[in-house]
Amino acid sequence: MAFFSAARSAPLHAVPDGCRVYAIGDIHGRFDLLLDLQDQIKADLETSPPEESVEIFLGDYIDRGPNSRAVLEYLFAGEKLCDRRVCLKGNHEAVLLEVLSDPGMLPYWCGQGGSATLRSFGVAPPSGGDQRSLVTCHQALLQALSGGFEQFLRSLALSESVGDYFFVHAGIDPRRPMRAQREEDLVWIREPFLSSGRDFGFCVVHGHTPCDEVDIRANRIDIDTRAFASGRLTCLVLESGERRFLQTQDVAEPEAAVRQP
């Protein structure tokens, strides 16, 4: 079941007239929810077509949920619903890229949900931390990602700006000017960003920090609604000075929620 939230006004922040933005929160391997949300976006576009549309995915496509492979494949090879698709880097993608360079990172990654990603690619997680097991798993992972997956991961953007909105996975460091923001912060930061009341001059749309409901502040909007566990994958829709939300609602256990592309 899916539902639309009521429209909300945002008089201090807007996107250009004629443009509609669909920003999608952390997916974490829940391909079933992604398909549901894409159906909602498609229906929304057909009901009232904008002059220009863009879909922005905020990162953390992989790990924890059961079908990371299908999520990645859809994002880099699936049909775009909007005129433009932007895929940002999340901290889970950043860790996987580190794993590709260092087999010793495998145990840490698996502890953060990477085992589910390995299984979705048909790769057995390492059995313990011995070197032979790590190397075997690492070689299998490199082979599994050779079909365009690694290239996609390395091409992910760090941020996107549309009108008065700045889209990023984790947030920004409020102590630094925008030109001095570090990749580490854009992908990983929580504090002091989350508690900052500073007027950034724009509204930051982010994920990374899970919340039970969408967290709307004067200077930021968090749309990571724990999709992998809650079944609620959230999309923020921005048009002119208005905000509204699309969201999935699914009570299936994540382990059973495997839908094939």
* pLDDT tens sequence for the chain (261 residues): 454 444 444 458 999 999 999 999 999 999 999 999 999 999 999 999 999 999 999 999 999 999 999 999 999 999 999 999 999 999 999 999 999 999 999 999 999 999 999 999 999 999 877 899 999 999 999 999 998 999 999 999 999 999 999 999 999 999 999 999 999 999 999 999 999 999 999 999 999 999 999 999 999 999 999 999 999 999 999 999 999 999 998 645 444 444 433
Query: Which pLDDT does position 9 carry in this prediction?
Result: 45
**Same domain as 185, residue 113:** no
Question: Residue 261 falls within a domain, yes or no?
Answer: no
Q: Which of 135, 155, 175 is the last residue of a domain?
A: 155
Q: Which of 155, 170, 197 is the last residue of a domain?
A: 155
Query: In the numeric block, which tokens belong to residue 242?
Result: 């208005």
* Single pTM value for the model: 0.93
How many domains are contained in the chain?
Answer: 2
Query: Which pLDDT does position 113 carry in this prediction?
Result: 98
Range of the domain at 107: 91-155
